[in-house]
Amino acid sequence: MPYLLSLLIFSPLAAVLLAGLLPSRKHQWFRMLALAVSIGQLLALIALFNSLSPNISLYYAEQARWLNISLGTWGVLQANYLVAVDGLSLPLVALSVVVLLIAVISSWHEQKNVKGYFMLLLTLNGAIIGSFCALDMLLFYVFFEFMLIPMYFLIGIWGGARREYASVKFLLYTLFGSILILIVFIGLYLGVGVVQFGQILHSFSVLDWQDAHYHMTGSWLTSSETYGGFTLKAWAFLFLLVGFGIKLPTVPFHTWLPDAHVEASTPISVILAALLLKVGGYGLARVVLPVFPAETIQFSGLVGGLGVVSIVYGGFNALASKDLKRLIAYSSVSHMGFVLLGLASGTTEGIAGAVYQMTSHGIITSMLFLIAGVLYDRTHDRLIDNYSGLSTVMPRYTALIMIAFFAGMGLPGFSGFIAEVLVLLGGFNPLSLVPVWLPALAASGLLLAAGYFAWTIQRMLYGPFVTKGFAGTLTDLTSRERFMLVSLAILTLWLGILPQGLLSLINPFAEGLSRLLSEHLVP
């Protein structure tokens, strides 16, 4: 099946057009349509995994001409519809398909403007999968930006009390980051020239960008002039770091995240935390490290340091959060710090751990936000202090909270453990690019996570059951909620107990990137 990726990307977008034609009264039709698309994507994904041929680096590559525009004296602009998956993107594509399916199920009882909601959700679906599949960076950027507007409306219309503030803040932060990315992308495609048929082709393909032979002599990519103490390449690296760092998010660019998460409705928080944050980490691993290996080495301390600051600062903030959703949001900041640290280490284990962490965090954080959503649906109250003794009235819910929180703590047996151990191993590796005290500090982040999760369990689940500050009855999980939480719990346990399958998929990518970085080490 050669067009599996296009099918994954465009089936939701085609469904948007179809949904546009359906009458808006028929709420059930839109739900069924979104569910059908997601199940179809899941089947396509299974087909994709079933026919993976080993020993190649890019699976299911598709290429078609998109833009080929003569730009006068300085060559030809070329951008292609180039999609493929590899050890970095395939886990994330799989994660997206699963999480988007969960999001559709979680949105089942959405009553407000159902047509618009599912049309935006489907648009977001296509954009997310597209941005993980695109190897042509103009295409990537288009999908990347295409996520913003649907997300803005999804937070702004279907969100909580302060949704308007949160949606605008989300949009401004992310657009600011993406502008920095665009500046560097323009520079990159103009600085990279592939000579073909006597013409200079300025390509947007990241495969061309990371090949130093194509960096044109005399362009900024080969010049060593410094501006403000840094070469232009170093500036480009920093721009991209900020751009993707906002998305990730890393401290100090994380302040949009707690607001957006708290105000968004449950399924939107799930998508935001599980998938949109991953685009930041994905961008770093896909573009920044391979295209700027020397700068990655130069700034590895900074990148790793930001990661560790995020781990610790996010952890302390989570500890201090009174709102359950805010706590989960800050735990995301903390967990995504491991991605930065793993990438900065430049070792195979570290990079593999970073990719593993992105996948694992996507599953765990989806569970966590669903858990917060379960309570909020029943009581419209998210304050941790208002609950106690939930274990007596909601035993099934308690069991799943336990699993999710233990997974969040990174206990052995859960996927987070594998990821964090790999990152720490990568950091402590003698070949690591980061000083050894950084992973040591990061390890203390694990303690913080244990602290805030365990404390929350103690406050909310144990003790006598009292109701204060909220109305509504606390009933145990419905079968719909149980289905979502149990399937995610199985996934995190599976990835925690049998990591080899996913790791063998990630490893070629991690090895390749690590080798590329080591080639640029000054002996």
Partner 1 sequence: MQEAYSISEVKGGLAYLLPELTLTAGILLIIIAGIIWHNKSRLWEISITLFVITVLMAGVLIVYDWPQNSIRLFFGFIQQTDFAAYFKLLVLTGCALTAGMSRKKSVEHPAEYFTLVLSVALGSTLFITSNHAVMFLLSLELISLPSYMLTALGRGKGGAEAGLKYFLFGSTVTAVMIFGWSLLYSATGTFDFTSSAFIDQLTQNAEPTAYLASALIIAGLLFKVSAVPFHLWAPDTYQAASAAIAAFFSTVPKLAGLAVLAKILLAFHLFGQSPVPFAAIVGVLSMASITLGNVGALRQKHAKRLMAYSSIAQAGFLLLALVPFDQSGLHALQFYSAVYLVMNFATFYVIGQFEHHQNVQTVEDFSGQAGASWALALVITTGLIALIGLPPTGGFMAKLFLFSSLWSSTSVSPTLRLVFLILGLLNTVVALFYYLKIPYYLFVKNRQNTPNRLPWELQGVLSVLLALALLVAFVLPGLLMGWINKTTFVL
Among 51, 63, 70, 222, binds partner 1 (CB under 8 A): 70
User: What's the closest the beta carbon of residue 286 comes to partner 1, in angstroms?
Assistant: 19
Distance CA 314, CA 449 (A): 9
Please tell me whether residue 18 binds partner 1 under the rule CB under 8 A: no
How wide is the angle at C-alpha 501 spanned by C-alphas 358 and 516, nearest 5°?
Answer: 60
Residue closer to partner 1 (CB basis): 182 or 212? 182
- Give how far the C-alpha of residue 412 lies from the chain's centroid of Cα atoms, to the nearest Å: 23
Token code pair at residue 58: 């890019």
Q: What value does the CA radius of gyration of the chain take, rounded to a whole number of Å? A: 23
User: What's the closest the beta carbon of residue 100 comes to partner 1, in angstroms?
Assistant: 20
Please tell me whether residue 157 binds partner 1 under the rule CB under 8 A: yes
Look up residue 288 and give its DSSP letter.
I
Which positions from 180 through 219 interact with partner 1, judged by CB under 8 A? 182-183, 186-187, 189-190
User: What's the closest the beta carbon of residue 72 comes to partner 1, in angstroms?
Assistant: 4
| Region binding partner 1 by CB under 8 A among candidate stretches 94-102, 134-142, 323-331, 511-519 | 134-142
Contact 382, 375 (CB under 8 A): yes
| Region binding partner 1 by CB under 8 A among candidate stretches 99-107, 163-171, 258-266, 491-499 | 163-171
Residue closer to partner 1 (CB basis): 263 or 349? 263
| Region binding partner 1 by CB under 8 A among candidate stretches 83-91, 143-151, 320-328, 381-389 | 143-151
Please tell me whether residue 64 binds partner 1 under the rule CB under 8 A: no
User: In a 3-state reduction of DSSP, which class is residue 414?
Assistant: coil
User: What's the closest the beta carbon of residue 203 comes to partner 1, in angstroms?
Assistant: 13
Which positions from 222 through 251 interact with partner 1, judged by CB under 8 A? 227
Please tell me whether residue 175 binds partner 1 under the rule CB under 8 A: yes
Residue closer to partner 1 (CB basis): 225 or 464? 225
Residue closer to partner 1 (CB basis): 190 or 393? 190
Residue 63 φ then ψ, to 5° = -140, 135
User: In a 3-state reduction of DSSP, which class is residue 307?
Assistant: helix
Residue closer to partner 1 (CB basis): 71 or 440? 71
Please tell me whether residue 71 binds partner 1 under the rule CB under 8 A: yes
Bridge partners, residue 69, by sequence: 77
| Region binding partner 1 by CB under 8 A among candidate stretches 61-69, 317-325, 340-348, 350-358 | 61-69
Cα distances (Å, whole numbers) of residue 363 to 193, 297, 410, 432, 492: 40, 31, 13, 28, 7
Among 42, 142, 207, 443, binds partner 1 (CB under 8 A): 142
Residue closer to partner 1 (CB basis): 188 or 318? 188
Distance CA 277, CA 407 (A): 19
User: What's the closest the beta carbon of residue 85 comes to partner 1, in angstroms?
Assistant: 22
User: What's the closest the beta carbon of residue 483 comes to partner 1, in angstroms?
Assistant: 32
- 294-309: buried (b, 16+ CB within 10 Å) or exposed (e) per residue? bbbbbbbeebbbbbbb
Query: Which string of DSSP letters, residue by residue, matches 419-439?
Result: HHHHHHHHHHSTT-SS-THHH
How wide is the angle at C-alpha 314 spanned by C-alphas 373 and 367, nearest 5°?
Answer: 25
Among 27, 62, 145, 389, binds partner 1 (CB under 8 A): 145
Tell me, by CB under 8 A, how many residues bind partner 1.
36
Contact 24, 115 (CB under 8 A): yes
Look up residue 193 and give its DSSP letter.
E
Residue closer to partner 1 (CB basis): 180 or 358? 180
Query: Which string of DSSP letters, residue by residue, matches 206-261?
Result: HHHHT-GGGBPTTSTTT---EETTEEHHHHHHHHHHHHHHHHTT-TTS-THHHHHH
Contact 35, 58 (CB under 8 A): no
Token code pair at residue 506: 């990630």
User: What's the closest the beta carbon of residue 37 comes to partner 1, in angstroms?
Assistant: 20
Please tell me whether residue 519 binds partner 1 under the rule CB under 8 A: no
User: What's the closest the beta carbon of residue 328 comes to partner 1, in angstroms?
Assistant: 25
User: What's the closest the beta carbon of residue 171 comes to partner 1, in angstroms?
Assistant: 7
- Give how far the C-alpha of residue 237 lies from the chain's centroid of Cα atoms, to the nearest Å: 20
Residue closer to partner 1 (CB basis): 153 or 282? 153
Distance CA 151, CA 264 (A): 10
Q: What is the dihedral of CA 480, 482, 483, 487, to 10 degrees?
A: 150
Residues in the chain: 523
User: For every residue of 22-84, which 3-state class applies, written as one string?
Assistant: CCCCCHHHHHHHHHHHHHHHHHHHHHHHHCCCCCCCCEEEEEEEEEEEECHHHCEEEEEEEEE
Residue closer to partner 1 (CB basis): 36 or 172? 172
Residue closer to partner 1 (CB basis): 58 or 148? 148
Which positions from 104 through 123 interact with partner 1, judged by CB under 8 A? 116
User: What's the closest the beta carbon of residue 443 comes to partner 1, in angstroms?
Assistant: 38
Please tell me whether residue 73 binds partner 1 under the rule CB under 8 A: yes
Among 168, 242, 294, 493, binds partner 1 (CB under 8 A): 168
Please tell me whether residue 176 binds partner 1 under the rule CB under 8 A: yes
Q: Give residues in contact with partner 1 (CB under 8 A).
A: 67-74, 77, 116, 138, 141-142, 145-146, 148-149, 152-153, 156-157, 164, 167-168, 171-172, 175-176, 179, 182-183, 186-187, 189-190, 227
